[in-house]
Amino acid sequence: MDRRFFLKAVPMAGIAGSLKTDKSMLADLSARPPVNDRAYNLDLLLRICRPVIENLSKGKLVAHMPTEVAPHYSKPVQKVTYLEAFGRTLAGLAPWLELGPDNTMEGSKRIEMLGLTRKALAQAVDPASPDFMNFTHKYDSQPLVDGAFLAHGLLRAPEQLWEQSSGRTKQQIIDGLKGLRSIKAFNNNWVLFAAMIEIALLQFDGGWDRKPVDIAIEKIMAWYKGDSMYGDGANFHYDYYNSFVIQPMLVDILKVLVNKNEGSKEQYELALKRMQRYGAILERQISPEATFPVVGRSMPYRNAAFQALTQLALAEKLPAELQPAQVRCALTAVNKRIFESAGTFDKNGWLQIGFCGHQPEIADVYTSTGSLYLCTTGFLDLGLPGHHPYWSGPAAAWTAQRAWKGLPVDKDHAIDI
């Protein structure tokens, strides 16, 4: 199995037709001082993740993590926010961890974080731990969501996290995931959370139940609205849930089914083609100034709005019209706009509620400190090695930069599948 558990990609095509590299733009880009985008993004990801992983590895997460909540917050925060923080952090950090140890400077950071994350995972599922997390419906339905993100993280790092866990920890993970079966999924994107739990149990031979998986796939496919967009339930929502949850989880669920000879390769390829179109749309939404529309629910998830695009990059499945380097440059610029804003982090390094700084009023009633760590899924591309063309290629302008400079840009078009 490929370490990112995706099929190996065919070579990506360059930008076709009239979209030739303009000499003046190329000269402008080459004149800039070299910037190590990978080092910047990795340092930022580790800055975000470290408070969660380091405290949890010592059994100190409950003791030290703040519990900021949105105005009119509606959940028992102490019963849900810690699994939110860890499950979501793991979902984004896992691909980089899956690269494994090596003798580079980056590798030394990875060795340290692997050790801490393995300890954190053991603490989270051990009933004797002060940081043992809630995997039941006793207090609220929220654990189904974040147990699914944790499961997604394990799928993204099967060799370095799952296989390196002790037999005791593996069984406790399985017990925790099975405990989430007591929570009924709502008739919207939540059906994918129930399905992701079962897919992890299938992947790790924990005894899966096929029914929630089939239900989720049937419903999501029925909610397809066209031109890459799925409804969140029967209705369409103009927000980023196609990236926060729907397309990344759907594609990965279908991929595991194919790998396990339990699903349709044609259905996986259809969902992937739709996701590629959605990735192209996401890239076109990044302005020349590296901003993007602030619209819909859950904007405190910040750059998780681009999870679908970073997952395509990780899988080496970017749409043919996107050069890897232009995606890297666009996402790096977005991250700088978001995370360099004053108020994003508190004095102890924890994320604060907001989109671009500290903005509690932008939050939904279900948002707490733990919720914010879904932003780590905007860094899935770090699961590609540093020598990969995505990271090593020269800087390239993204679509909106080219368009607003009057440079050649291919016309856009919808898909009809």
Q: How confident is the model over 54-112, as pLDDT tens digits?
A: 999 999 999 999 999 999 999 999 999 999 999 999 999 999 999 999 999 999 999 99
> Torsions phi, psi of 34, nearest 5?
-60, 135
Q: What pLDDT sits at residue 13? A: 37
Read off the tokens for 248. Answer: 């990344």
CATH number of 34-404: 1.50.10
Cα–Cα distance list, 401 to 25, 34, 318, 331 (Å): 10, 19, 19, 13
User: What single letter denotes the amino acid at residue 166?
Assistant: S
Q: For 186-237, how does the pLDDT look when each residue is reduced to its tens digit (9 = 90+)?
A: 999 999 999 999 999 999 999 999 999 999 999 999 999 999 999 999 999 9
Q: Are 394 and 30 in contact (CB under 8 A)?
A: yes
- Residue among 110, 63, 62 nearest 86 (CA): 62
The DSSP symbol for 229 reads E
Question: Could you tell me the pLDDT band of residue 8, with boundaries at 50, 70 and 90?
Answer: very low
Torsion angle of the four alpha carbons 339, 343, 348, 353, in this order, in degrees rounded to the nearest 10: -80
Ordered by start, the domain boundaries in the chain are 34-404
Q: 307-338 burial, b if ≥16 CB within 10 A, otherwise e?
A: bbbbbbbbbbbbbebbbbbbbbbbbbbbbebb
Asked whether residue 183 carries a pLDDT value surpassing 90, the answer given is yes
Helix (H, G, I), strand (E, B) or coil at 311: helix
State which H helix or E strand residue 339 sits in: helix 324-339
Rounded CA gap, 235 and 223, in Å? 8
Question: Could you tell me the pLDDT band of residue 137, with boundaries at 50, 70 and 90?
Answer: confident
Asked whether residue 22 carries a pLDDT value surpassing 50, the answer given is no
State which H helix or E strand residue 228 sits in: none
Read off the tokens for 155. Answer: 């799928």
Q: Are 44 and 339 in contact (CB under 8 A)?
A: yes
Q: For 376-416, how does the pLDDT look when each residue is reduced to its tens digit (9 = 90+)?
A: 999 999 999 999 999 999 999 999 999 999 999 999 999 99
Asked whether residue 2 carries a pLDDT value surpassing 80, the answer given is no
Question: Could you tell me the pLDDT band of residue 242, with boundaries at 50, 70 and 90?
Answer: very high
Provide, rounded to the nearest whole percent, the portion of the chain with pLDDT above 90. 91
Which stretch of 12-26, 61-75, 160-174 has the lowest confidence by average pLDDT? 12-26
- Residue among 405, 415, 303 nearest 25 (CA): 405
Mean pLDDT, the chain, as a whole number? 93
